Amino acid sequence: MSPTIPMQARRLQRDPVYTENTRFQVYTERQFDQIAALKRLPEELRFAMRVVANVLPFRVNQYVIDELIDWERVPEDPLFQLTFPQQGMLETADFARMADALRRGLERTELRAIAREIQAGLNPHPAGQQEMNVPRLDGEPLPGIQHKYRETVLFFPSQGQVCHSYCTFCFRWAQFVGDKELRFAASEADSLHRYLKQDRAISDLLVTGGDPMVMKTKHLQAYLEPLLKPELEHVQTIRIGTKSMTFWPQRYVTDQDADELLRLFEKLVANGKHVALMAHFNHWREMETPVVREALRRVRDTGVVIRTQAPLIRHINDDPDVWSRMWRTQVSLGLVPYYMFVERDTGAKRYFEVPLARAHEVYQGAMQQVSGLGRTARGPSMSAGPGKVEIQGITEIQGEKVFVLRFIQARNPDWVQRPFFARFDPEATWLDDLKPAFGEKEFFFEREYRAMRGQSMKAR
């Protein structure tokens, strides 16, 4: 008997515990006044949130409001900080400019114009995403596809360029502000499949967004089932980047096509694909509700591997105890800790960033508190232009205090796993802040990376 039969039967059971918050109710900045929980907060705080939400994207749903946020601890509560905008997310002058515009009652078109000017100064597409990552097919650029690393293609399906709620620190905030020039999205599955077919070095497809899990299963099928064709057998791994396990675990439990989605996962796994759900968890509290525990169980029953990742972010998880508890919880639930990222140099970075020295301290302190099964998480990792750079340690060599760095992934595969050294800087928060150690003029990869950037600009 096929082992999928009892799994499907078990999934079809409906437990009464999951009957609350099964209707998806979402709020944006236009519905601030409809969020009952906010009415207990001071007007000054509510106005500040509205100011920021007119520049950076805001979206939250009833499940997050009711089940995740501890309203007795607001505004310090980490899940509140995760989803509701804070005044410090904008520079003082930018905040004052938008606040004045709102007080004067300007029209929405005028507010949008001011917002666009502020957004332009927030580095909306870091790490060369628009200049260097967009591939070509038959001489034409492929919007909605990025190919930065040899083995891995990122795909941004047009139906998945929204999320059940928005993270305030999101490095892809530009996807959600309504400007098509800032957005990656693709609607044609055929272009994706043709691009994958012509490059047999591609082994991994990462479907991302936004959040692909906002899509109906029938749309996901149109993108993923063709990967089972013989001509695409070299694409062995399908990754799906998602925050849905936090923001809407009902997607896998009570949504109308939840069982259909799980059957799609089973089909892909049964036909030899490695399917990995890249689940974004920023705090252990996101995994505490009964419905998320059930969602995790159901997905794992299909044979899908759930890997977890998150950035290290001030106000939310800049504490080794939070990370160690989060990783231990994940291991106990059968999840695989995968990455600790450094907050990217975009959007509200100034509010959320943590110095690299502190990031390493948090990572090391958390690792010391978990067993080997929790030490699969790599980091702290910067997803910078040249590649993913990991801070391996801080040490002293020949009397000079240095950061020990390496590429986990890189635009040139020859750079991967090569250690290099940067002068210790207690204030540095990103790769661009670092200087080579030992009197070197530049890091070993910089000349080649400059050439890559120049070629990309010519191609455009």
**Looking at the domain assignment, is residue 44 inside a domain?**
yes
Q: How high is the pLDDT of residue 128?
A: 56
**Looking at the domain assignment, is residue 199 inside a domain?**
no
Split at pLDDT 50, 70, 90, the class of 218 is: very high
> Does the structure show a pLDDT above 60 at 245?
yes
Query: Radius of gyration over alpha carbons of the chain, in Å?
Result: 22
**Looking at the domain assignment, is residue 60 inside a domain?**
yes
More confident residue, 377 or 346: 377
Can you give the three-state secondary structure of the chain, one letter per residue? CCCHHHHHHHHCCCCHHHCCCCCCCEEEHHHHHHCHHHHHCCHHHHHHHHHHHCCCCCEEEHHHHHHHCCCCCCCCCHHHHHHCCCHHHCCHHHHHHHHHHHHCCCCHHHHHHHHHHHHHCCCCCCCCHHHHCCCEECCEECCCEEEEECCEEEECEHHHCCCCCCCCCCCCHHHHCCCHHHCCCECCHHHHHHHHHCCCCCCEEEECCCCHHHCCHHHHHHHHHHHHCHHHCCCCEEEEEECHHHHCHHHHCCCCCHHHHHHHHHHHHHCCCEEEEEEECCCHHHHCCHHHHHHHHHHHHCCCEEEEEEEECCCCCCCHHHHHHHHHHHHHCCCEEEEEEECCCCCCHHHHCCCHHHHHHHHHHHHCCCCHHHCCCEEEEEECCCEEEEEEEEEEECCEEEEEEEEEEECCHHHECCEEEEECCCCCCCHHHCCECCCCCCCCCHHHHHHHHHHHHHHC
> Does the structure show a pLDDT above 90 at 185?
no
**Looking at the domain assignment, is residue 66 inside a domain?**
yes
Domain count, the chain: 1
Split at pLDDT 50, 70, 90, the class of 4 is: very low
Split at pLDDT 50, 70, 90, the class of 132 is: confident
**Looking at the domain assignment, is residue 414 inside a domain?**
no
> Does the structure show a pLDDT above 80 at 165?
yes
| Mean predicted confidence (pLDDT) in 36-50 | 95
Q: Are 341 and 107 in contact (CB under 8 A)?
A: no
Bridge partners, 409 (sequence order): 388
| Listed range (119-133, 251-265, 392-406) with the worst mean pLDDT | 119-133
Q: How high is the pLDDT of residue 6?
A: 45
Split at pLDDT 50, 70, 90, the class of 180 is: low
**Looking at the domain assignment, is residue 448 inside a domain?**
no
| Mean predicted confidence (pLDDT) in 343-357 | 93
Q: Measured between alpha carbons, how far is 420 from 453 in angstroms, rounded to an integer? A: 21
Q: How high is the pLDDT of residue 143?
A: 83
Torsion of the alpha carbons at 373, 301, 215 and 342, rounded to the nearest 10: 0
**Looking at the domain assignment, is residue 435 inside a domain?**
no
**Looking at the domain assignment, is residue 61 inside a domain?**
yes
Q: How high is the pLDDT of residue 403?
A: 98
**What is the residue range of 27's domain?**
23-120
Phi, psi of 184 (to 5 degrees): -95, 130
Q: How high is the pLDDT of residue 457?
A: 60
Q: Using omega within 30 degrees of 0 as the cis cutoff, is the peptide bond preceding 75 cis?
A: yes
| Listed range (20-29, 131-140, 196-205, 326-335) with the worst mean pLDDT | 131-140
Split at pLDDT 50, 70, 90, the class of 1 is: very low
Q: How high is the pLDDT of residue 99?
A: 98
